[in-house]
Amino acid sequence: MARTVAAFKVDHFQFLGPDGKLLDNQHVPSLARDFERLRELYKLMVLTRTFDKKAIALQRTGKLGTYASSLGHEAAHVAIGAAMQDEDCFAPMYREYGAQFYRGVKMSEVLMYWGGDERGNDFSQPKHDFAWCVPIATQCLHAAGAAMAFKLKKEPRVAVSVVGDGGSSKGDFLEAINAASAWKLPLVLVVVNNQWAISVPRSKQNTAATLAQKGIAGGLPSIQVDGNDLIACLWAMDKAVKAARDGKGAFVIEMMTYRLSDHTTADDARRYRPKEEVDEAWEKEPLLRLRKYLISQDAWDDGQEEELTNECVEFVQQAADEYLDLVANDPQPVTAMFDYMFAELPHDLAEQRAYSEKYPEDGGHH
Amino acid sequence: MAQITLIEGITLALARAMEEDDSVIVLGEDVGVNGGVFRATAGLQSRFGDERVIDTPLAEVMIAGMSVGMAAQGIKPVAEAQFCGFTMPMVDHLMCHAGRMRNRTRGRLSCPMVLRFPSGGGIHAPEHHSESPEALYAHMPGIRVVIPSSPSRAYGLLLAAIRDPDPVVFMEPKRIYRWQREEVIDDGEELPLDVCYTLRDGNDLTLVTWGAMIKETLQAADELEKQGISVEVIDVATISPLDMDTIYESASRTGRCVIIQEAPRHCSVASEIAAGLADAGIWNLHAPVKRVCGYDTVMPLYRNEMKYMPSVRRIVDAAQQVLEVS
């Protein structure tokens, strides 16, 4: 005879439909009526998308290296940033610009990183956030470590990390969940599920009904939200960050969105996914629905939209100019590769550093 | 003053470091109540509490990854891996993050963590418990690699490793954990992380080694001394950065050098030292540099493990080959 020893369910939350209408006018978070806040976040979403377009243009014209686009992820990313306090710690993967801009990372810094200059990772603020993290899902454990540090130091701070649907297959993500559960860490793990791990679709990654349930398997409260609905994303993040800060432990949020871009500028998604799928995803994208909603509530209009578009283009151009000026006129010398290897340069590296100074411009051209 | 073993030197240094700095914590599998499988952390949890001596779930990637995260955010983790073979999943976080944190952020963040683990063979252990992967870690930019071979060096070097502002891989030669006792004064004095130790002065031949091979090397030196040969013995101790100056000074004086290591020879620390000697001044050597190493094979299971590792006879034979060249 069998008896059920554990059962679980995963709730999906969505407040705003693709048509910009609230799904249920009665049961919405107060955030849905906070138009000032929503306007501010909408502006950042538009700015992030404008930045993204510029970065791709810079890459296509040979002024930037490989770049990972955030197109389509703006609601998820901006919500993650907006739910955090300055003193909290963010461990990003490598395309969460919306969250980072909210936290104070400069656009020129993003461009410097993808433009091949380490100084891009020396964020003007926040000083304690982790750098971009290319080895997939490893950042989840760095965030868990940060959360452990906050807990040990008894600081009311929260660590937040992001992983993709692809990264949720990795042990690092699962080990972070396990650790957060074992030690009740102030950690929020967000799975930004954009349906594609480069060319491998969600359906081929595993047969689990949701990725949120991986958190439940490890003992963490876990939910799924519409990742194109800013209100749902921010509501969930606020709830998770508050719980973590209040000592109630960690949380997993799966945000369902879609990667409208190629994986990076080195990828061509037309090779592996049908145009119809992408066209359909564009109808659900996050900016459009929030704009429609704000307009329907008389919180936004076409004039403001035009003004915002112009402001964003100008702001992004300034950042691009700043980046291009810096790499052209203030490049890092050859010795820069030695200077931050250790707090104090060991004798063997000091010797190599001195040697490198004899060949300051060597190495040919790309 | 107490005579203590190498592993007791480790415990003493851990306790000292935790006493003087509240941000130092110890974490690993079975390090708490159990005191570690070799008892390196014995008594620490009852003394410092379970928030500072932390039993982790059985997940090596997590131990390494969380140590990176903690180290970047103001905690000084001293992580223990139970055996050298189990550090392989940790390589990702050491190579891709610990060694790069300071550099990739232009000094905005750093990673002052220590990963300590028992390494080397010779204790009849199961598979994956007996390897000597120091070359693997020494090849990682941004990481220091240290291997003590006496109780006092274990104490002084571990204290220095914990206080160091950058990541240190601290490999403990488990075969000699309890081999020798030595008086160690718990005075908090650390040892430098970038110098070799000359254990015995000599004029005819330099033997260079580290870790548990110190045992066979000293025995070989005794045999050679009986044959009237004056042997200098160097314990490298700090594998990265490597103190080539001390090694070269000795080898260029004696003119003859044999390097002894338990690890496989190919692309190894012994090879790096031999190349360093050639580079620094091959004309000051009277004979080819010999390396006596573990074979370039898989470390055998324990019935054959001592046949794998350099024996006193193999070291003496190599020394005699080097001495025969005129």
Chain B residues within an 8 Å CB radius of A348 = 241-242, 244
Chain A residues within an 8 Å CB radius of B74 = 149, 153
pLDDT over threshold 90, residue A178? yes
**A150 shares contact with chain B (CB less than 8 Å):** yes
ω before A126 within 30° of 0 (cis)?
Answer: yes
A343 with B102: Cβ contact below 8 A: yes
Cα–Cα distance measured from residue A16 to residue A22, given in angstroms and rounded to the nearest whole number: 5
CA distance, residue B111 to nearest chain A CA (Å): 10
pLDDT of B2 reads 80
Number of H helices, E strands in chain A: 14, 8
Cα–Cα distance measured from residue A234 to residue A246, given in angstroms and rounded to the nearest whole number: 18
ipTM for the predicted complex: 0.95
**A153 shares contact with chain B (CB less than 8 Å):** yes
Chain B residues within an 8 Å CB radius of A343 = 102, 110, 164-166
A138 with B92: Cβ contact below 8 A: yes
Q: Please, which residues 257-286 of chain A have a Cβ atom closer than 8 Å to chain B?
A: none
Cα–Cα distance measured from residue A204 to residue A166, given in angstroms and rounded to the nearest whole number: 10
**A181 shares contact with chain B (CB less than 8 Å):** no
Band the pLDDT of A198: cuts 50, 70, 90.
very high
B61 with A141: Cβ contact below 8 A: yes
Please give the C-alpha separations between residue B285 and each of B220, B256, B282, B288, in angstroms, as whole numbers: 21, 6, 6, 7
Specify whether B286 is catalytic.
no
Task: Please report, rounded to a whole number, the percentage of residues in chain A having pLDDT higher than 70.
Answer: 100
| Nearest beta carbon to residue A341 from set B93, B102, B164 | B102
Q: Please, which residues 328-347 of chain A have a Cβ atom closer than 8 Å to chain B?
A: 337, 340-343, 346-347
Chain A residues within an 8 Å CB radius of B62 = 141, 144, 172, 175-176, 178-179
B107 with A122: Cβ contact below 8 A: yes
The values of phi and psi at residue A3, to 5°, are: -130, 150
A179 with B66: Cβ contact below 8 A: yes
Report pLDDT digits (tens) over A280-296.
999 999 999 999 999 99
| Mean of pLDDT values over A210-227 | 98
pLDDT over threshold 80, residue A365? no
Closest CA to B121 of B288, B302, B321, B274: B302
pLDDT of B37 reads 95
β-bridge pairing B24-28 and B53-55:
parallel
| Mutation site, A185, A189, A340, A349, interface B, largest B CB count within 10 A | A340
Annotated active-site positions of A, please?
Answer: 259, 263, 272
**A118 shares contact with chain B (CB less than 8 Å):** yes
Q: How many CB pairs (< 8 A) connect A and B?
A: 143
A143 with B69: Cβ contact below 8 A: yes
B68 with A343: Cβ contact below 8 A: no
pLDDT of A363 reads 81
| Nearest beta carbon to residue B51 from set A140, A152, A349 | A152
| Mutation site, A113, A175, A339, interface B, largest B CB count within 10 A | A175
pLDDT of B1 reads 61
Chain B residues within an 8 Å CB radius of A123 = 108
CA distance, residue B133 to nearest chain A CA (Å): 21
User: In chain A, which segments carry CATH 3.40.50.970?
Assistant: 12-20+27-332
pLDDT of B158 reads 98
- Residue ranges of chain B with pLDDT lower than 50? none
User: Is domain A12-20+27-332 classified as CATH 3.40.50.970?
Assistant: yes
CA distance, residue B281 to nearest chain A CA (Å): 16
Indicate the pTM of the whole model: 0.96
Report pLDDT digits (tens) over A332-348.
999 999 999 999 999 99
pLDDT of A30 reads 96
Band the pLDDT of A361: cuts 50, 70, 90.
confident
Cα–Cα distance measured from residue A48 to residue B214, given in angstroms and rounded to the nearest whole number: 60
* Per-residue H/E/C for chain B: CCEECHHHHHHHHHHHHHHHCCCEEEEECCCCCCCCCCCCCCCHHHHHCCCCEEECCCCHHHHHHHHHHHHHCCCEEEEECCCHHHHHHHHHHHHHHHCCHHHHCCCCCCCCCEEEEEECCCCCCCCCCCCCCHHHHHCCCCCEEECCCCHHHHHHHHHHHHHCCCCEEEEEEHHHCCCCCEECCCCCCCCCCCCCEEEECCCCEEEEECHHHHHHHHHHHHHHHHCCCCEEEEECCEEECCCHHHHHHHHHHHCCEEEEEEEECCCCHHHHHHHHHHHHHHHHCCCCCEEEEECCCCCCCHHHHHHHCCCHHHHHHHHHHHHHCC
CA distance, residue B106 to nearest chain A CA (Å): 6
B62 with A141: Cβ contact below 8 A: yes
Chain B residues within an 8 Å CB radius of A175 = 57, 59, 61-62, 65
Report pLDDT digits (tens) over A119-176.
999 999 999 999 999 999 999 999 999 999 999 999 999 999 999 999 999 999 999 9
| Nearest beta carbon to residue A348 from set B64, B165, B241 | B241
Chain B residues within an 8 Å CB radius of A128 = 73, 109
pLDDT of A26 reads 84
Chain B residues within an 8 Å CB radius of A345 = none
| Mutation site, B22, B104, B140, B193, interface A, largest A CB count within 10 A | B104
A175 with B59: Cβ contact below 8 A: yes
| For B56, nearest residue in chain A (alpha carbons) | A179
Cα–Cα distance measured from residue B284 to residue B256, given in angstroms and rounded to the nearest whole number: 9
| Mean of pLDDT values over A18-30 | 93
pLDDT of A362 reads 83
Chain B residues within an 8 Å CB radius of A131 = 101, 104-105, 109
**A89 shares contact with chain B (CB less than 8 Å):** yes
Query: Catalytic: which of B93, B128, B129, B139?
Result: B129
